[in-house]
A and B are shown apart, each in its own frame.
Chain A
Amino acid sequence: DTEVTQTPKHLVMGMTNKKSLKCEQHMGHRAMYWYKQKAKKPPELMFVYSYEKLSINESVPSRFSPECPNSSLLNLHLHALQPEDSALYLCASSQGLREGSYEQYFGPGTRLTVT
């Protein structure tokens, strides 16, 4: 199974809402990533987990809170977002992180709209 799944596919939320994005992979990968992608732009790295520990935080605002409950799951908790946070949120996984660059497997993304 080389699939990374993300739920939901689409999410509309108000600025006072609390919601969560979910990501799951069953490839035994030990590194998982969250990216944010605005229209016509490349993906921008937000967070990286390696062996279920947060390894990289790209100075992301605290209204985004990642969580890695186990090696297969990655969540992104959202609270008090701003309209400019509307974007495609992509999850990815790879074999490892410290060992060098491995190809990343991406999920289909969650299209988030903040109203």
Chain B
Amino acid sequence: SQQGEEDPQALSIQEGENATMNCSYKTSINNLQWYRQNSGRGLVHLILIRSNEREKHSGRLRVTLDTSKKSSSLLITASRAADTASYFCATDAASGGYQKVTFGTGTKLQVIP
């Protein structure tokens, strides 16, 4: 089963507004990553937050991690039409000596110009 569940499944906002997406996971992790995917294309890595970190920023992106609640959030500030995409959280877990990454269900974001 998938490691991460995201909500909302879909989000529609006006350009300039902030967008918040949440990810909940089930087991202990070492790292959590966020990826973006434009329709029918490959994924692009956005940010990685380690289990001992609580918050991380990158440009207009802010990621938080609460390991006690097994949850993370991605905030996109001052959204732009170009931010329209699907966003996935990805968690890792040990698998036979390797770190295996599993993607969450994703949030489809639409930013209306």
Q: A-side interface residues toward B, CB under 8 Å?
A: 4, 41-45, 48, 50, 55-56, 88, 90, 92, 97-98, 100-101, 103-109, 111
Contacts and interface: CB of A to CB of B under 8 A. Distances in A.
27 contacts: A41-B105, A42-B105, A45-B100, A45-B101, A45-B102, A48-B98, A50-B98, A56-B96, A56-B100, A90-B42, A92-B42, A97-B98, A100-B31, A101-B33, A101-B92, A101-B99, A101-B101, A103-B48, A104-B35, A104-B43, A104-B45, A104-B101, A106-B35, A108-B41, A109-B40, A109-B41, A111-B40
Nearest to A55: B98
Judged by DSSP, the binding face of B is strand
Given A56-B98, A98-B98, A100-B99, A43 B43 contact: yes
B2 to A, nearest CB: 7
Contacts of B81: none
B88 interface: yes
Interface string B41-65: 1111100100000000000000000
A48 B105 contact: no
Interface size, B (range): 20 to 34
Nearest to B9: A40
Contacts of B42: 4, 90, 92, 106-109
Nearest to A98: B98
Contacts of B103: 42-44
B95 interface: yes
Contacts of B44: 106
Nearest to A111: B40
A103 B45 contact: yes
Interface string B70-113: 00000000000000000010001001111111111110000000
B5 to A, nearest CB: 10
B26 to A, nearest CB: 15
A41 B43 CA distance: 13
